[in-house]
A and B are shown apart, each in its own frame.
Chain A
Amino acid sequence: MFFHIVLERNMQLHPRHFGRDLREKLVAKLMKDVEGTCSGRHGFVVAITGIENVGKGLIRDGTGFVTFPVKYQCVVFRPFKGEILEAVVSMVNKMGFFAEAGPVQIFVSNHLIPDDMEFQSGDMPNYTTSDGSVKIQKDSEVRLKIIGTRVDATEIFCIGTIKDDFLGVISDPGTTS
């Protein structure tokens, strides 16, 4: 799920930036530093949308650097256990398939794919029901439920399932198991 939250960060700025456009420099550096990062607690920082306030700077002993506490609003993407969302299938193999929901990768193991769907190899590997009415392959859109998350320093990785009511390939009501 995407959230709009306020975060705080201490920004260090080199003295050569002090001047009329100090604030712009600070904001530009903040965007460069923060956008695209990921933390386990807040998820992926997608975009900074505004600056709440810039606190008083503090000169660091020994260096000329000044630390500013900056409060900023941003859009973050944070997946949760138990959350249901839509995703695009990016890879299919006999172990299951990978899907992407924005910046996050979700793996759905073949144990968590309905039992009536069989893996079919070929140049377009896919999972298909025995009657061929439902097919999961690369670029399919699926609705899945996240059942586990693993948090890395720079990435969040999720495990999902489509073995539940109202989950599975989108725009095909027959997929519900």
Chain B
Amino acid sequence: MGGVLNYSGTGELFNDDSRSSSSSFFNRVLPLLFLLSIYATRIGSRLKLSVNMSGEEEENAAELKIGDEFLKAKCLMNCEVSLILEHKYEQLQQMSEDPMNQVSQVFEKSLQYVKRFSRYKNPDAVRQVRELLSRYQLAEFELCVLGNLCPETVEEAIAMVPSIKSRGRGHDDEAIEKMLNDMSLIKKFE
């Protein structure tokens, strides 16, 4: 912020000239500038605040505030990402002997992560889970959180996806329980 910069600039001047005759001048001006800089910072932060309030709302995944762009985008469960990345990795493997050299660190870390945390390994099971969950009028994001974490009880599911209850879609506990049961069945039979 301008005020802060201003202040530090004067601070240097003050140090340089502190022994000269003009030190009294700086002694008098410095507190003034200091006050000014505080004032400027305040205005600045208030401005920033107002921008924040009028523009993008603060994100909160629990209330499904993840920005329009991501709300409409297709969300991927870890198991789906695993299928995509492994496919891509195989393609790279065919082109060169040492594919690990070719891929970025982000790719490598993501692949390790999704391999470790994929609930469903079999592509058919992955498809079934998405089909099952998409019957419950869930947002993409909610669907994927459920698919990733596979909660076992209704309370757990609500704790993981609080928005499931709040949006008035008639999700009673029984419907959620049935959904969780069906999910564990898919897991059992894959």
**Interface residues of A, Cβ cutoff 8 Å to B:** 1-5, 35-38, 44-47, 49, 75, 77-78, 80-86, 88, 100-103, 141, 143, 146, 164-166
Segment of B35-43, B109-117, B123-131, B167-175 engaged in the interface with chain A: B109-117
Q: Which secondary structure characterizes the binding site on chain A?
A: strand
Residues of B within 8 A of A1 (CB): 61, 75-76, 141, 144-145
**Interface residues of B, Cβ cutoff 8 Å to A:** 58-63, 65-66, 69-70, 73-78, 80-81, 84-85, 88, 103-107, 109-110, 113-114, 116-117, 141, 144-145, 148-149, 151, 155-156, 159-160
**Nearest residue, chain A, Cβ from B163:** A82
- Beyond the given pairs A80-B66, A81-B60, 4 more chain A to chain B contacts, judged by CB atoms under 8 angstroms and listed by A's residue number, are A4-B73, A5-B70, A37-B106, A100-B109
Most chain B beta-carbon contacts within 10 A, residue among A82, A86, A101: A82
B110 touches A102 (CB 8 A): yes
- What would be 5 A-B contacts, judged by CB atoms less than 8 Å apart? A2-B75, A2-B77, A85-B149, A88-B113, A100-B109
Across the interface, A3 reaches (CB within 8 A) one of B75, B85, B107, namely B75
**Nearest residue, chain B, Cβ from A88:** B116
B84 touches A5 (CB 8 A): no
**Nearest residue, chain A, Cβ from B77:** A2
Expressed in whole angstroms, the Cα–Cα distance for A52 and B103 within the complex equals: 22
B74 touches A5 (CB 8 A): yes
B145 touches A38 (CB 8 A): no
B74 touches A101 (CB 8 A): no
Expressed in whole angstroms, the Cα–Cα distance for A164 and B58 within the complex equals: 21
**Nearest residue, chain B, Cβ from A43:** B70
B144 touches A101 (CB 8 A): no
Query: Whole-angstrom distance from the CB of A50 to the nearest CB of chain B?
Result: 11
Residues of B within 8 A of A35 (CB): 103-104, 106-107
**Given that A1-B145, A5-B74 are known contacts, is A84 also in contact with B107, CB under 8 Å in the complex?**
no
Q: Which 6 A-B pairs have the closest CB atoms?
A: A36-B104, A82-B61, A82-B62, A83-B61, A102-B113, A80-B61
B110 touches A103 (CB 8 A): yes
**Nearest residue, chain B, Cβ from A165:** B159
Residues of B within 8 A of A47 (CB): 84-85, 88, 107, 110
Residues of B within 8 A of A81 (CB): 58-61
